[in-house]
Every structure is written in C-alpha cells, then in structure tokens.
Structure 1
Amino acid sequence: MARGLQARLEESADLIRSPTSPVPVTARSVMLDRAENLLHDHYGGKEYWDTRRSMVFAKHLRAVGDEFRSKYLNSTDEADRIPFEEDWTKMKVKLGSSLGGPYLAVHLRRKDFIWGHREDVPSLDGAVKKIRSLMKTHQLDKVFVATDAVRKGPAPLDSVTPSITRVTEEHTQGLRKGRAGSVSLPERFFIGTSVSTFSFRIHEEREILGLDPRTTYNRFCGDLEEACEQPTHWKVAY
C-alpha cells in the first residue's frame, strides 16, 4: 500500500526510520515526491546545490534536445561554449564564460497562471511585445517558446517573427516538458514566468553551466504591473 507523509527533511528522515512510521519498515524503496520542498529550509546552501548538481537530464532526452537545437536553432555545445560532464558535481564553471546558443528562449505559463497570478503574468499581446523587444536588443532572429497556451485560431505568438516554424511531435517525436528543458537552458537569453517552478529549474541549470546571470534571471511582467521585480540571483554554493 502506498502511503504519504508531509514534513521537512529532518522530520521526514525520522519518520522513515521510526518503527511507528507510516512508511513500513519493510519497504525497500522510498519515493520523495517534489523533493525540493524537503530542502526548502536549506535552499541556496551547499547541501541544496550538491543535490541540484547531481540531477542531469538522461542521455536519451539530451539527444533529442541536441538534435532539435542543431536542426532548428543552429546551436551546439561546442559552438555555444557550453561545458558538459556526465557528473555535474565535478563542474565548477566561471559565470559568464559560457556563450549560449543564437536564440531567445521563452517560458510562458498560461492556464492556471492567468487567474492565479494574473497581476504578474502578461497578456499574449504583452508577451509578444516583450519577445520582439528582446530579439531586437540582443540581435537574435530565432526564438524557442515553451508554453501551455491553448491554441484557438491564429495565435499572437505566430506574429513574433516573419517566418515561424511550428514544432510538432512529428518534428521531434514529442518534445515535451522534460525535453524542452534541455533546449531552454543553453540559449543566449532566457525569460521565464514569475514564480514558475519550471522557470526556477532553468535558472539553476543555466547558473550551473556558467551563463551570464544577466541573461538568466529574467521574467515577464504583467501588463499593468508597476513594480516588476526580477528573479533573485542564487549563486551556486560549492
């Protein structure tokens, strides 16, 4: 029988070890769902970053992402000066030493964020305006957009560039969320969505890979948001 518990890291460890724990002592495996929550009290510390740097995309996911980058975005690790080792805990990269691919990457949440965080999430028209501005500022003519926006008729995002290629499962055999991450982290400039866990993970991966923080910690602002505070820069603790 599967049972759940909700607690901090130290409390969870005690519960698992205890004879009276809701987790049977005969269990051979324990799954920690959303383990980042267990490390909340240690966020930004060495223990957190040691754990975070131990997480690397599986080889078959990286292969899909690398093929997509090369085919559609003119991007490779070598050309983009992106360091890579199978074990990220062995990497210590100087910030700003990595260049990033010649494209803008966007993570734009919609759906529940439209009503749950409506003040700091832009309209699609507002997002398009910001994307165009960033492409012009950074002299980029390609943009990769990861979004859960529902498509009904012509989408405003289609107007970002004169010629846009809509990537479907036929192109990549399913470039879904996990695989999108492997595309969205080595770009020249990244902009995400406020308080989005997925955007946070991209921040961390770009930090580990040594990309310039000024090109990493950015988010969209709401159309009427006056004080648009940008994400906090969390440095890797080695």
Structure 2
Amino acid sequence: MKFYIGTTTLVFAALLCMAIADKRYLLYDCNPGEGFNLRRDVYMRIANMVKNLREQKECKGDDWVLVLPPWGRIGYHWKERDMEQSKIPWSKFFDIPSLAKHVPVIEYDDYVEEIGDAKVDEIWYLQRYEEGWSSGNWEDKMHERPCIDQPVYESEGNSDKIRGWFWGYEETYANKFKCVSVQGSSKIFFGPLCGANTTAQSIMLDRGENILHDMFGGKDYWDCRRSMRFSKELVEEANEFRKKHFGSNDEADKTVMPEDWTEHKCTEGDALGGPYIAAHLRRKDFLYARKDQVPDLEKVAKVLKEKMQEYKVNKVFIASDGTKEEMAQLKTLLPEMVMYKPTKEKKKAFKMGGVAIIDQIICSHARYFTGTKESTFSFRIQEEREIMCFSKDMTFNRICSDQEPKDCEQPTKWKIVWNSDSEIWQ
C-alpha cells in the first residue's frame, strides 16, 4: 500500500519541525538562603532577560521560553523541611496567564512533559570574580572560569549525567556544567546565549541573584512587576478577611483593577484604601542584624495609635515574623491590632509563601502603611500600593527606633512608570 503526502502537508510538517527546533528554554535558580520576596525580584530580572532575548537581532528565530523554578528549600524563611514545602508550582502563588502577558512562561512539570525528559542541557553556575572589583571603573563582564567554590553538582558514576539539587526532582539531570564569573546586568548574556557560546536548547542559570536589573525601576521593570498578579485563591482569601474584619472591599476602597493588567492605569491618589492602617514589623534576625533600626514594641504601639487617630480608623493590621510572646505583648499594648492566623488546613493548602502573600495583600489595601527598613517584604507591599496608585505619603513609611532621630530616613519613594523610562525617581 502506498501513501501520498501533498506538498502543503510536507511544508506544514517542515515548519512545525523548525518551530520545535527553534524553541529554547531558560531555567534558573537562586542561592537556597535567599528569601521568598528576594526571589520574586530575581524572577523579574530573568523574565526581562527572556523578553529582551526574544527581541535581539542575534537571537532572531529563537523562541525563548522561561521555565518557572518550583518553590521550596528557602532555608531561614521556610522552616518546614518536609516535601510539602518543596516542588510547589508557581500557580500556587501567582496567576500564570497574567505572567505570560509579559513573557512566555511554563511550569517545570510542563517543561519536562514538553521536551520528553527531566533534563537540562547546560548549567551555568554564576559566581563572582575571584580577584574582585579592582579596576576602579565598573564594567559589565562575564567569563567562563574555574569554580571558586565547590558547586553542589557532580557526575553520576561513569555516566555523563550531572546530578544536583533540581528543586527536589531527583530524576532531573544535566548534560553539561560550567562556572561563569559574572559582573553586570542581563544584557551581557545576550551574545553568549544567542549562539556565541552555546546552541543548547535548554540552559539553567544557577545563582540567578548575581544578575542585576538592566533598568531598575524602568518600564520593563514595572510591566513585569504588574504582571505578577497573585493567584485567585489567595486574593479571595485576603478579600474575605478584609471584608470580615475591616468592612473593606475594592469598590469602597477605590482599589478596583481590570482583570488584564495591561489595561490598567491610574494616577497617584486614586486609591483610598480600607478603614484600617497596616504595619509590617520585621523582627527575628533584624533584632540583632539591624538592632539600631528596629523600634521597640512600646514605640510601635504609640506610633500606630497616633496614626489610627490621624486617619480616623479604629483597627490596625499587623504582619510580622515576631514570636508569639512578642505579638501577645503588642496586643496588650495595642488591643486594636488584628493578625491573619490561618487554620492548619488553610496553612497547609496555601503553603508558607501563600500565607505571606495574603499578609501582603491585606497590608497593600490599608488606608495607610508603614514597613520595616531594608525589608523586601515591605518593599513588595509598597510596590503593590504604587501599582494601585495610593498616595506616596500613605505608602513609603517606617517607624523610627529610639536610637534614631525623630525625622529618621524614610523609604525611597519609587514612582511607577507606565509609558517610558523617564522620571523613574521622585
């Protein structure tokens, strides 16, 4: 029996094969010690790298896709060591279709299914320059170098497979590994990734926190940040808490945003916020690492009572990593305080990252917010409020410690960029 295939079918098949061949995947990971909110910032650096790779002339024809690294193994911040706190997909915390409006993304499990194997072609382990920054003038540069530290990857016996930590997926392996000293922003990767140094279909950049933003605070930064909408499950939980404890909702608070973030734009001061104020109080390691910047609980209670009077509200929401004893003491000093305390079932369902996000959503919708200096948790809340167009005076605040002057330095007021990279600072 003979089969005849028409010309149109052959052309379509050829184009399909070319499309598959041209698809390339960028994976990344961070130092295990990096916290949840810093990792969100690293995502933005890598996502904008992929966006720019897709626009580079030397990368023409390469359909770059960002593979989202499963969440877990966040040492200090996520104390639970069981498998329930690893292999967590991004969809647990974020709205994937929203992310994809900025850059093509895919969950790790879907990546494995798509390529048909749990592997990465190449790992580039990003490290510092051993000689340090000694030239006197900053320059963006990268070179393949001998490994300075011993990476957590090794060859498997006599095979060519390289094993290591791949987000808890023991079956995953790599074909090739090298250490790369890097200093600078993601733009220095364009040439090497676009054929100058590799034609691999999949490349993993480990220690992605070593890559800097091309334009911190520019339009691409804010577009990527706006695309990071939270999962509907977490938003619904936070909204229900706001409604129950504060009588807060988006319509009354003037924080309604369109479903599609690309259609959203507002002006500073458009948002009113719910009838409560909110504070993020970072404690634990900050009590000794930044002890001169952390106010005592008596000072916190005093300032928050003053702010409740100023904004004519009678409730304050507290997000904190403080101990039970510290929060009990604060409750005595500040009876009006409310905290989000999920049931065991909800805590298990939302994971530790989800509980943190719910805290951030509630804080971001408050009439007034005050945070902790140099805390990425507070910074993420300030970004959310900037996106919703709260007044900067109601957003970029912190409580001074007793060791600081009364007019201590307040957080930098970042201005959202809607249309261009002009006027980034204010």
Which band: TM-score by shorter chain? 0.7 to 0.9
CA drift at 1:86: 2.4
**What pairs with 1:124-135 in structure 2 (closer than 5 Å)?**
124-135=297-308
Aligned residues: 234
CA drift at 1:34: 5.5
**What pairs with 1:104-183 in structure 2 (closer than 5 Å)?**
104-152=277-325, 155-162=328-335, 167-170=340-343, 173-174=346-347, 176-183=355-362
Question: For residues 231 and 400 of structure 2, what CA distance do their matches in structure 1 show?
Answer: 33
Q: Which amino acid aligns with 1:109?
A: R
Match of 1:233 in 2: 413
CA drift at 1:3: 5.5
Match of 1:65 in 2: 238
Match of 1:26 in 2: 201
Question: For residues 364 and 345 of structure 2, what CA distance do their matches in structure 1 show?
Answer: 18
Match of 2:385 in 1: 206
Tell me which structure has the larger Cα radius of gyration.
Answer: 2
Kindly indicate whether the alpha-carbon contact (under 8 Å) linking 1:218 and 1:230 is maintained by their aligned counterparts in 2.
yes
SS at match of 2:307: helix
Write 1 or 2 for the structure with the bigger share of strand: 2
Match of 1:87 in 2: 260
CA distance change for structure 1 residues 31 and 62 in 2, over 3 Å: closer, same or farther? farther
Kindly indicate whether the alpha-carbon contact (under 8 Å) linking 2:126 and 2:208 is maintained by their aligned counterparts in 1.
no
Q: Which amino acid aligns with 1:129?
A: K
CA drift at 1:149: 0.4
SS at match of 1:190: strand
SS at match of 1:38: coil
CA drift at 1:156: 2.3
SS at match of 2:324: coil
Query: What do residues 31-69 of structure 1 show as CA deviations (whole Å, max 9, x unaligned)?
Result: 88559x632x51122221122111111111111111111
CA distance change for structure 1 residues 154 and 19 in 2, over 3 Å: closer, same or farther? closer
Q: 1:191 aligns with which of 370, 377, 380?
A: 370
SS at match of 2:317: strand
Q: Which amino acid aligns with 1:11?
A: I
Match of 1:77 in 2: 250
Kindly indicate whether the alpha-carbon contact (under 8 Å) linking 1:102 and 1:140 is maintained by their aligned counterparts in 2.
yes
Q: Which amino acid aligns with 2:275?
A: P
**What pairs with 1:39-58 in structure 2 (closer than 5 Å)?**
39=213, 41-58=214-231
SS at match of 2:343: helix
Moved more, 26-35 or 45-54: 26-35
Unaligned 5+ runs, structure 1: none
- Which portions of structure 1, spanning 4 or more consecutive aligned residues, are displaced by more than 6 angstroms? 28-32
CA distance change for structure 1 residues 97 and 103 in 2, over 3 Å: closer, same or farther? same
Question: For residues 225 and 304 of structure 2, what CA distance do their matches in structure 1 show?
Answer: 29
Match of 2:117 in 1: none
Kindly indicate whether the alpha-carbon contact (under 8 Å) linking 1:109 and 1:193 is maintained by their aligned counterparts in 2.
yes
Question: For residues 45 and 92 of structure 1, what CA distance do their matches in structure 2 show?
Answer: 16
Q: TM-score, normalised by structure 1?
A: 0.86
Question: For residues 73 and 31 of structure 1, what CA distance do their matches in structure 2 show?
Answer: 43
Q: Which amino acid aligns with 2:202?
A: A
Query: What do residues 73-101 of structure 1 show as CA deviations (whole Å, max 9, x unaligned)?
Result: 21000111112122323211111111100
Question: For residues 230 and 139 of structure 1, what CA distance do their matches in structure 2 show?
Answer: 23
Question: For residues 33 and 184 of structure 1, what CA distance do their matches in structure 2 show?
Answer: 29
Question: For residues 160 and 102 of structure 1, what CA distance do their matches in structure 2 show?
Answer: 21
Question: For residues 80 and 44 of structure 1, what CA distance do their matches in structure 2 show?
Answer: 26
Kindly indicate whether the alpha-carbon contact (under 8 Å) linking 2:274 and 2:365 is maintained by their aligned counterparts in 1.
yes
CA distance change for structure 1 residues 172 and 217 in 2, over 3 Å: closer, same or farther? farther
Root-mean-square deviation over aligned CA pairs: 2.7
Kindly indicate whether the alpha-carbon contact (under 8 Å) linking 1:19 and 1:25 is maintained by their aligned counterparts in 2.
no
Note if 1:5 corresponds to 2:126. yes
SS at match of 1:152: helix
Higher relative contact order (CA 8 A, sep 6+): 1
Query: Percent identity over the alignment?
Result: 37
Kindly indicate whether the alpha-carbon contact (under 8 Å) linking 2:396 and 2:412 is maintained by their aligned counterparts in 1.
yes
Query: What do residues 106-134 of structure 1 show as CA deviations (whole Å, max 9, x unaligned)?
Result: 10000111111111111122212211121
CA distance change for structure 1 residues 18 and 144 in 2, over 3 Å: closer, same or farther? farther
